[in-house]
Amino acid sequence: MDTDSCIRTNIVKELGQEPVLAHSHIAVEVCRGMVRLSGHVATLIEKRCAAGIAERLAGSGAIINSLKICPPSPIEPTPGGAPASPAGRHGART
């Protein structure tokens, strides 16, 4: 496995193990040691977390963080117009 493949494999593995990034959609490309992150995350914290992992594992290679921040959509209203409670949407008992 060449160096770029090793770097990419290690970054993808670490991103997949980071709980903060569980619902993120991140693609990793590595070319000549330069890492590009693309896709979307929900918060700036997630974007910085992904970049930190890439920086740590890429060593001295450049990081291009093209991740877009796309906050989750708000709770959709019920047919009557009132927002559904999170507990009600997931079937939790109150």
Express each pLDDT in 65-84 by its tens digit: 999 999 887 776 666 655 55
For residue 46, which of 34, 59, 37 has the smallest C-alpha distance?
37
Task: With respect to residue 75, please indicate whether it lies within any of the assigned structural domains.
Answer: no
Instruction: Read off the pLDDT of residues 6-65 as tens digits, 9 standing for 90 and up.
Output: 999 999 999 999 999 999 999 999 999 999 999 999 999 999 999 999 999 988 789 999
In contact, 71 and 52? CB cutoff 8 Å: no
Cβ-contact 75, 89 below 8 angstroms: yes
User: What is the token pair recorded at 31?
Assistant: 């070319």
Instruction: Note whether residue 35 is domain-resident.
Output: yes
Domain assignment present for residue 77? The answer is no
Say if 20 falls within a structural domain. Answer: yes
What is the domain count for the chain?
Answer: 1
Q: Which residue range forms the structural domain that includes residue 28?
A: 3-69
* Domain CATH for 30: 3.30.1340.30
Q: Give the other-Cβ count within 10 Å of 36's Cβ.
A: 16
Residue 5, helix vs strand vs coil:
helix
Report the distance separating Cα 67 and Cα 93, nearest Å.
Answer: 37
pTM score of the predicted model: 0.74
Domain presence at residue 39: yes
